[in-house]
Amino acid sequence: MTTINKNYLKLPGSYLFSTIGKKVREYEAAHPDAKVISLGIGDVTQPIAPAILDALHAAVDEMGTAEGFHGYAPDLGYAFLRETIARHDFQERGCDIAPDEIFISDGAKCDCSNIQEIFGTDNTIAVCDPVYPVYVDSNVMAGRTGEYDEAGERFHGVVYMPCGPENNFVPELPEGEAPDLIYLCFPNNPTGAVITKPELQKWVDYAKKNGSVILYDAAYEAFISEEGIPHSIYECEGAKECAIEFRSFSKTAGFTGLRLGFTVIPKALKPEGADLHGLWARRHGTKYNGAPYIIQRAGEAVYSEKGRAQIRQQIAHYMENAGIISEGLKEAGYEASGGVNAPYIWLKTPDGMTSWEFFDHLLEKANIVGTPGSGFGPHGEHFFRLTAFGSRENTLEAIDRIKTM
Amino acid sequence: MTTINKNYLKLPGSYLFSTIGKKVREYEAAHPDAKVISLGIGDVTQPIAPAILDALHAAVDEMGTAEGFHGYAPDLGYAFLRETIARHDFQERGCDIAPDEIFISDGAKCDCSNIQEIFGTDNTIAVCDPVYPVYVDSNVMAGRTGEYDEAGERFHGVVYMPCGPENNFVPELPEGEAPDLIYLCFPNNPTGAVITKPELQKWVDYAKKNGSVILYDAAYEAFISEEGIPHSIYECEGAKECAIEFRSFSKTAGFTGLRLGFTVIPKALKPEGADLHGLWARRHGTKYNGAPYIIQRAGEAVYSEKGRAQIRQQIAHYMENAGIISEGLKEAGYEASGGVNAPYIWLKTPDGMTSWEFFDHLLEKANIVGTPGSGFGPHGEHFFRLTAFGSRENTLEAIDRIKTM
């Protein structure tokens, strides 16, 4: 008799953004005239940049010729893309990362949920609280946590590291026994907070001292606008011996609908002498078949001179939105942070409302969709996330509505 | 201290096709003048059909406009594609499969390696022997098998179902305790064998009686040329209550480099009352972000009138190759099967050679790359797989070389 993976049953409700989507669809069905503006899910809205479109068209044309046709991609990605990434994202920043330490994939969500597979189920995990739900949920599914504690809104066996205004949303080093796998995400989703290089160095030193592995999600590095904020964990000394880094083209270049990301596993990363690079290569070879050729060519175009100029403009546009939201919220009397080195604005809900109460309030009173902070963890309660990815028009209108709500 | 997933260490050597690739690269490096022809890995060679190219270009253009831009795809795939698939692949064949029972993905390899995640690790698995290595390897990684037995070339705890000339490469129903998860693939990779509808019905009845789930890989259904061979397991009565089906655009329409596939999980499939459809939806929502919009539009074009006509021509071309290989092998004195309803030809190695001995022999004497049967399981020993996916020119030359070897 077939049995199911009972770990799935530990997960409460559905995935956060599926729940939000359902609530919004229900609201829209009941209020067909409402013009709902979503500043909720972190999805981009600007069209793909011209230099990238050109690369896509050219690659599609290639696929239509016998000489230019590309079948199965190399397991770990095309050399042209891996080399481009190694040069621009790492070597030019002084990080000694080689092309063959880079694994191309169809996105950081897949990578950061699949990475746990190469680790033992006996590892303890630590996450920031609040946190992108995928880190915890993928570990729940794999049986690396205990049951869900309804009252505490947390899984037993997971080390939650509180992040709030009191620590500028950067967690303190855990006390007691060191966790084995430490998920860090900076610039942070959902809080928009960043970590300085000396602060990140402390984490690297801690991981090295304790034999922990840091799983570093740098999906938002392109939004960093201030000096002194590391774009990669490999800017820290010794990080190659203790850290895996995830990157994404989704927010950097509007690839949420094209799907492209990559993971860096340095060959020097050998906990217990184990070859994590080799294990991940084996996983890729066995369970994955590469990102589409045309998408990898699009990824390459992101680094071209034209591509970089166009992407910079897009990011600047979103960050102007972030400024509009941050300023508008402050004018409307809200406490808010983020939005300077990240496309997320993290606001304190007014009048002691819970995050979901504020979600309903905002949807009903202003027809605006945001993301309840409590969906990211217990310390996200009484907070709320807005994103800068809307159109300018929608962003301005949303802020007007919030001000007059 | 971080530990790794030690199940990975049970896997012997590297993934079959990675090993072959390495051997070929080494041979080519040592013999730079050799014109090596690959009839090894099942990768297509014909360019993407014009109707599909048009759809790709149109979708790329859409992505460059504010109105046509598509960000995150729906978790389970775009409705336009799911509806098209449900109609053409299932409803038109009398299979009552609804669009919302179809999950779009980036390929059948990912799906058939990931599907095991939603089942308990205590399930026993049964596979044909020989078999596509991904079914077993993905279960090894998940800890659903014992250690590898070097001498027997098999994993403890896996039910291997021998397939050879004596049973026309269709396995017998297992004796003794019924396995929980049964992987079947027809038309078969690697043997090219097919199963008749009455034979498949026996498996469905067996699974229903024993509470087993059949994981049915129909990636090659488009190559079926004979009447009476089921294209989908849902042509059998009761299959919706016991079977999951995997499909791929890779071989049907040359999408190995575009990446698109889908999995069917009927809502009626409820072993132990468990909602497998819901579990897979949860997995998709949490660990996957959808296939690219432009690729889903390309998939839709496969079903257009023009697309279908063009695809039929491509498949006919490959099947002519299959005929050339089958005939040529017979003329050269080889025993061979397959190649009628599948793009694979399965030949008996001559003179008692092992599969890898024949691999080396063929590479050295004729500069032809094939796939050693033993790479697919112990009962694949003394067999060898050739594929019909080469160009016409290469296929003809390969057969000439084999004849004069």
Nearest neighbour of B57 by CB, restricted to A6, A57, A117: A57
DSSP-derived 3-state class of residue B344: strand
The answer for B 36-55 residues in CB contact with A (under 8 A) is: 41, 43-48, 50, 53
pLDDT of residue A18: 78
Contacts of A319 (CB under 8 A, 6+ apart): A223, A225, A339, A343, A388
Spell out where A241-332 has E strands.
243-248, 261-264
Q: Is A64 exposed, middle or buried (0-12, 13-18, 19+ CB in 10 A)?
A: middle
DSSP-derived 3-state class of residue A325: helix
- Report pLDDT digits (tens) over B318-377: 999 999 999 999 999 999 999 999 999 999 999 999 999 999 999 999 999 999 999 999
Contacts of B275 (CB under 8 A, 6+ apart): none
Contacts of B339 (CB under 8 A, 6+ apart): B192, B319, B322, B323, B325, B326, B345, B388
Nearest neighbour of B292 by CB, restricted to A47, A258, A272: A258
CA angle B125, B127, B133 (to 5 degrees): 105
Q: Which residues pair with B127 in a beta bridge?
A: B160, B183
Q: Which residues pair with A104 in a beta bridge?
A: A262
If pLDDT is split at 50, 70 and 90, which confidence band does A113 have?
Answer: very high
Task: Establish if B214 touches chain A: CB-CB under 8 angstroms.
Answer: no
- Considering chain B, what is the average pLDDT of its residues? 96
Per-residue pLDDT, averaged over A357-370, amounts to 97
Chain-chain contact of B287 with A5 (C-beta, under 8 angstroms):
no
* CB-based contact B118:B342 (threshold 8 Å): no
Q: Which residues pair with A161 in a beta bridge?
A: A128
Distance from CA of B350 to the nearest CA of A (A): 30
CA angle B83, B86, B91 (to 5 degrees): 130
Percent of chain B exceeding pLDDT 90 equals 93
Distance in angstroms (rounded) separating the CA atoms of residues B183 and B128:
7
| Lowest mean pLDDT segment, chosen from A12-21, A96-105, A321-330 | A12-21
Encoded tokens for A322? 């972030």
* CB-based contact A294:A59 (threshold 8 Å): yes
* CB-based contact B272:B242 (threshold 8 Å): no
| Residues B24-30: contacts with CB under 8 Å, at least 24 apart | B24/B363, B24/B369, B27/B363, B27/B364
Contacts of B189 (CB under 8 A, 6+ apart): B42, B132, B217, B219, B220, B342, B344
Whether the pLDDT of residue B150 is over 90: the answer is no
Whether the pLDDT of residue A16 is over 90: the answer is no
Q: Decide which of B405 and A253 is more confident.
A: A253
Chain-chain contact of B257 with A14 (C-beta, under 8 angstroms):
no
- Report pLDDT digits (tens) over A30-81: 999 999 999 987 889 999 999 999 999 999 999 999 999 999 998 899 999 9
Whether the pLDDT of residue A130 is over 80: the answer is yes
Show the DSSP H helices in A131-195 as ranges.
Answer: 133-141
Task: Establish if A166 touches chain B: CB-CB under 8 angstroms.
Answer: no
The answer for B 135-164 residues in CB contact with A (under 8 A) is: 137-138, 141
- Report pLDDT digits (tens) over B249-266: 999 999 999 999 999 999
Distance in angstroms (rounded) separating the CA atoms of residues B198 and A273:
53
Encoded tokens for B379? 């009962």
pLDDT of residue A147: 97
Whether the pLDDT of residue B14 is over 70: the answer is no
* CB-based contact B389:B43 (threshold 8 Å): yes
C-beta atoms surrounding A209 within 10 Å:
11
Distance in angstroms (rounded) separating the CA atoms of residues A42 and B57:
27
- Considering chain A, what is the average pLDDT of its residues? 96
pLDDT of residue A17: 79
Q: Following DSSP, what letter does each residue of B253-298 receive, concatenated? A: HSGGGT--EEEE--TT--GGG--HHHHHHHHHHHH-----HHHHHH
